A and B are shown apart, each in its own frame.
Chain A
């Protein structure tokens, strides 16, 4: 029982940590910052309008 309660408590803490803070902005296409171009077609914010966009954050290491 204690273990189950501890599990529930841990789950709640974890979900609280992942919830966006009150007042924080929901991500939207208009909020995308294109950083520094490395390769491929060079985009402007105009190119993002009306498109389905997948922004993938990754690293080479």
Chain B
């Protein structure tokens, strides 16, 4: 799972969509608590599938390119290079009308097709938009537009939810200024984030997050031992840590009720039988 979290963090803004499908018997709450404790930051479903599955054990993954074709079917440890190339090839597909590009842009497109990280390539393409060579400037604009496409969509989605759910809008925008630095998309996201930081719900959520981090640290301490002992023995051995977890959760519920951070912390607590309401 940590590899998925890393890939999602790096590449979801460049068109990668990771879907985790839980395929064992467990309640949604149990799966959610486990996924949250692993830092899962992508959509998770129960019993998601794909037509044509061969069956077999888990973990197992399917990689689909941007045309819908399955290009990998196997163990997740073998997928990374193919995944990077698939994301890069989709991004390098910048024009349906042109087949060749200017001399300065071609190496950038080749780097993408080889699976190199899109973020530094974007930073190289941005100044080329102002090139005195018209062909280079035009191709650079096409490439920058393609590379910032997901960022633009994130900004639009955040704007749509800003009134109903400011915290969700804030979360959608958080990475945009860094990932798309130097582009109009980043400037727009920065402007929206500045406004959102004045929102009361966002302010409370931001205050709650350091305490959530503390809960996550406790979770990391307890997690390796969870399920290996019977509940009574677990409580006896880790009593002091569980007490600390309980008091931290009580603080969160009292100080930051109804925040997503508190809800996430409560889910972690429930994993260890700590219920605070």
Contacts and interface: CB of A to CB of B under 8 A. Distances in A.
Q: Do A and B come from one complex?
A: yes
Interface of A: 18, 20, 24-43, 47-48, 50-61
Interface of B: 1, 4, 7, 15-24, 26, 28, 30-32, 34-36, 40-54, 58-66, 68-70, 73, 76, 79, 83, 86-87, 90
B24 A60 contact: yes
30 contacts: A20-B52, A25-B51, A25-B52, A27-B53, A32-B64, A34-B19, A35-B47, A38-B32, A39-B36, A39-B44, A40-B41, A41-B43, A43-B17, A43-B19, A43-B43, A43-B45, A47-B17, A50-B90, A51-B64, A52-B63, A52-B90, A53-B19, A54-B19, A55-B48, A56-B4, A56-B21, A57-B48, A59-B26, A59-B59, A61-B24
B18 A28 contact: no
Contact of B54 (A20, A28, A30): A20
A37 B43 CA distance: 8
A53 B40 CA distance: 16
A50 to B, nearest CB: 5
Nearest to B45: A35
B120 to A, nearest CB: 19
Q: Interface on chain B toward A: helix, strand, loop, or mixed SS?
A: mixed
Given A34-B45, A38-B46, 11 more contacts: A25-B51, A27-B53, A28-B70, A40-B42, A43-B43, A51-B66, A54-B63, A55-B64, A56-B21, A59-B22, A61-B26
B58 A32 contact: no
Contacts of A53: 16-19, 62-64
Nearest to B267: A39
Contact of B15 (A27, A33, A34, A52): A52
B62 to A, nearest CB: 5
Contacts of B21: 35, 55-58
Contacts of A26: 52, 70
A35 B46 contact: yes
Contacts of B49: 32-33, 35
Given A27-B50, A52-B65, A55-B48, A38 B35 contact: yes
B35 A27 contact: no
Given A38-B28, A39-B32, A54-B16, A24 B59 contact: no
A60 B58 CA distance: 10
Contacts of A31: 50-52
A29 B64 contact: yes
The 6 closest A-B pairs by CB, nearest first: A31-B51, A59-B24, A35-B48, A29-B68, A40-B43, A25-B52
